[in-house]
Structure 1
Amino acid sequence: MTEWITNTMNSLGYMGIALLMFLENLFPPIPSELIMPLAGFTVSQGKMELIPAIVAGVIGTILGAFPWYYFGKLVDESRLEKLADKYGKWIFVSATDISKANQWFNKYGNIAVFLGRLVPGIRTLISLPAGINNMNMSSFIIYSTIGTLLWVSLLTGSGYVLGDNYELVEQYIAPVSKIALLSIIFFFLIWIIRKQMKK
């Protein structure tokens, strides 16, 4: 993976950064935690400029967010509720639960998208509920861009500072990603247990 990312970036330059970050949003196993620190390391070697590298990363990420957003629009709330009514009993989710979750997202969607772009493991998936809830496109782009800009700048700056040791960024962030996903699963299980106890 590292060799492929390095070769892509070396051969395509800024376009390679954008392409890799686009693909990272479509296929989460491709880690931004490796792409952007490598870009920062390349900047430290004088082979790239910092601002264009960050801009390329942001553009690639935002373009990669659109497929998931539009997939969410295809799914839409009514289809989810029908699926929940039909199959939700197996995971203890009802149409009412879907409706409540969507009401929550409609209320806090802007901040959810912004914060979601800063959390490994959730960065890609946050576009899905935004599409499902028909989040205003301009708001989606604005809050996604702000969150992405912070994330990409942090990773690129870390790679620049660490130099040859840029791969350490991924090693330190990988556990955070796992903790975030495990936390989501944990809270989902707690929610299911509490729901069953109420019944």
Structure 2
Amino acid sequence: MLEALNAFIEANADSAWLLPIVLLLCILDGVLPPVPSEATLVALGAVAGAEGDPNIAALIAVAALGSFLGDNLTYTIGRHTRLGRLRDSKRPKVRGFVNWVVKMLDRRGGTIVIACRYVPGGRQLVNLTAGATEFPRPRFMLFDGIGVTTWSAYNVGVGALAGSWLEEQPLLGLVIAIVLALVLGWFAELGAKRWRSRTERRVGVAS
């Protein structure tokens, strides 16, 4: 399947409709775990690095936008439907994972939103749970924006660097990407907490 996908991408890398297809694919991936967005981005990155089409910056931007829209759609589904009530799932593994996510959202919400962007299936559960537990949407959008940008750049970058040491050590590359995302998430979360604290002090002084 992946070989057929790669062949199709290589044959259509310069097509005008390719980026809109990537956008749609990444939106669907935010809701449906089986959608092969990572494999598609890596394959496109490899073609872009070798042939110059599609444009790497445009590819990263479109993938990030599609992923952001898909994640926020899943968040909305979690907030407004019973699909978000996964804490009551009959599957022990799902129930246990969701309960862990709830605790982590309370303690390190931004970090878990960003980190789970790299976990197929896990990100959908996290986003559903974030919506169901009414994790603040502005914070979710901030951290998810960081997550989808680093995730898109990582997958396209792996493809563009095909044939180099990163291709021979994919696990190391993934670890580097996740560490980078966690560091960015930590700084963003720290900044958000300071901003909220400063705002609360200003409100207290004004009242």
Q: Assess same fold via TM > 0.5.
A: yes
Aligned to 1:54: 60
| Pair 1:13 & 2:31 matched | no
Post-superposition offset of 1:68 = 1.5
Q: How does 1:12-51 map onto structure 2 within 5 Å? A: 12-44=17-49, 45-51=51-57
Decide whether the 8 Å contact of 2:113 with 2:143 is kept in 1. yes
Displacement of 1:67 after TM fit?
2.5
Q: In structure 2, do the counterparts of structure 1 residues 101 and 144 end up closer, same or farther at CA, with 3 Å as the change threshold?
A: closer
CA offset digits 1:70-111 (Å, max 9, x no partner) = 1211247xx949x84xx87x85999xx96x964552332221
Q: How does 1:83-122 map to 2 (within 5 A)?
A: 84=88, 91=92, 102=102, 104-122=104-122
Structure 2 letter corresponding to 1:116: C
Match of 2:158?
Answer: 158
Unpaired segments ≥5 residues, structure 2: 175-207
Name the CA distance, whole Å, in 1 between partners of 2:53 and 2:25.
18
* Partners of 1:25 and 1:143 in 2: CA distance: 15
Q: Among the aligned pairs, what percent are the same residue?
A: 23
Structure 1: which amino acid aligns with 2:146?
Answer: I
Letter of the 2:41 partner, please give it.
M
Give 1:5 deviation, angstroms. Answer: 7.2
What letter matches 1:71 in structure 2? I
Q: Distance in 1 between matches of 2:22 and 2:7?
A: 10
Stretches (4+) displaced over 3 A: 1-11, 90-94, 100-104
Query: 1:32 & 1:92 partners in 2: Cα distance?
Result: 25
Choose between structure 1 and 2 for higher RCO, CA contacts under 8 A separated by at least 6 residues. 1
Scaled by the length of structure 2, the TM-score of the pair is 0.62
Aligned 8 A contact 1:106 1:133 in 2: no
Contact map agreement 2:101 2:129 (CA 8 A) in 1: no
Answer yes or no: is the 8 Å Cα contact 1:58–1:152 preserved in 2.
yes
- Cα distance between partner residues in 2 of 1:120 and 1:24: 9
CA 1:106 to 1:17, structure 2 compared with 1: closer, same or farther past 3 Å?
Answer: same
How many equivalent pairs are there? 162
Counterpart mapping for 1:62-101 below 5 A: 62-75=68-81, 80=85, 84=88, 91=92
What is the distance in 1 between the residues matched to 2:141 and 2:153?
Answer: 17
Give the Å deviation of 1:146.
0.7
Is contact 1:118–1:150 with CA below 8 Å preserved after alignment? no
Aligned-residue CA RMSD in angstroms?
3.7
Matches within 5 A, 1:145-184: 145-162=145-162
